[in-house]
Every structure is written in C-alpha cells, then in structure tokens.
A and B are shown apart, each in its own frame.
Chain A
C-alpha cells in the first residue's frame, strides 16, 4: 500500500514561500499507477485541491492560486514537493499530499498523507 508523509516548516511569516515535501513509500512516483497531488484544508473548513504532478513531470494547479504554485518531483528520493509563494494568513491550513488514481479520465485521491499544519502569522 502506498504511504505518504509530508514534511516542512510549520510557521511562516506573510510574504514568505511555503515549501513542503511528500515522501512516498510502498510505490514509485515514477510508475504510471498514481499521480501526485497536494490538497489543503483550513481549520474547520473544507478541502481544496492545490495541484498535481504527473509521471512525465507535467503539472496542473488550481487556477484560484494563480501562478503562486510550483510542484516538482525528485525521483531519486521518491518524493515530490510543493512551493507556494507570497503566503498570507489565508494560506494557513493543513496541507495533505495524496496519490491520485486516474480512471476513465477522472482523478480520485486514493491515498493520503497524515497532513502537516502550516500557519502564516507575523
């Protein structure tokens, strides 16, 4: 079973860049079985898809985050990363990485990391 674990700083100041890494075990991020997403959840609120990286390195992201999002992968370490620039308090959330299963053109978040809380505060 694929397992994921997020890591990264938990406290940022406004305007800084959020950087998180997701370590994957039980499967290779280079395989075609899954693709790799970031999802976030502000405290007491719902889930927001941030973006995804595919096996070929192509990425997609939520248009609501405009050009602040960069997702990359390091196949040698079997991990993928998220960078979110110019953070504000509105970016305070639990950030999850997930393994997406693509079936008939639709993506399902089948496996999730435990999540990591990122707080943006001056």
Chain B
C-alpha cells in the first residue's frame, strides 16, 4: 500500500497569511505514461463530509477559489492557501489515487486561525 504522510498535523495561521501543508507518499504517484500525478487534496469543514479541492496535484476543482493551489511531483506535494480566510478553517487531506481501484488518504492536517 502507498502510505501518505502529511505535515504538520495541525497548523495555526493568521488571517490573510499563507498556509502551507505538505504531503509525502511512500512511493511515486507519477504515471510516466501520461505525466500525471495521481494526487488530490480534500477539505473537510467541521461536521461536513470532505469535498474535493484539487486533483492531478495542481488542478482546482470547479468553484474552488484561486487562493488554493497545489504543487509537487513524484512523492512530495504541497497545498498552499495564499491568503487565509476564516472559512478555510478545516482539516485537509491528501489522497493518492495511483493505486485505483484502491485509494489512500493522509492522516489529515487541521488548519486553524491564529
């Protein structure tokens, strides 16, 4: 199984400041045949199900604000929120879908306001 490890486990950032979350996979999720990284990010707000934010490591889902961006390749990935808003308080999960049919998630990073 590919193990996904996120850091930090929790993060407190001031409103308007940048938030950065890291995700590392135990093996590469880059498919060299199509040059795509099978890595997604989800946001889970309190009391809600997760929602898809980013896929292919850097493609925003429809309706996701452009302050959210994803980067990285192979085994190292980053989710960046360029200017934190109050509504961004949530737990963020990375997910690898390279091993579809099975996919696995990171343990989550809790983002709070400082």
Chain A residues near B (Cβ < 8 Å): 45-49, 52, 60, 62-63, 96, 102-110, 112-115
Least CB separation from B97: chain A residue:
A106
Partner of A112, one of B38, B40, B50, B100: B50
Select the residue from A46, A60, A114 with max chain B CB neighbours within 10 A.
Answer: A46
Decide: A107 and B50 in contact? CB cutoff 8 A.
no
- Chain B residues with a Cβ closer than 8 Å to the other chain, count: 26
Of all A-B residue pairs in the complex, the 6 with the closest CB atoms, nearest first, are A112-B49, A60-B101, A106-B97, A47-B105, A107-B100, A106-B38
How many angstroms from the CA of A57 to the CA of B38 in the assembled complex? 25
Looking at chain A's contact residues, the main secondary structure is strand
Decide: B50 and A47 in contact? CB cutoff 8 A.
yes
Decide: A49 and B104 in contact? CB cutoff 8 A.
yes
How many angstroms from the CA of A60 to the CA of B98 in the assembled complex? 15
Decide: A52 and B93 in contact? CB cutoff 8 A.
no
Interface pairs (13), CB distance under 8 Å: A46-B93, A46-B106, A46-B107, A47-B93, A48-B105, A49-B102, A96-B49, A103-B55, A104-B34, A104-B36, A108-B55, A110-B61, A114-B49
Interface residue B108 (Cβ < 8 Å from any Cβ of A): yes
Least CB separation from B39: chain A residue:
A106
How many angstroms from the CA of A102 to the CA of B100 in the assembled complex? 9
How many angstroms from the CA of A52 to the CA of B97 in the assembled complex? 13
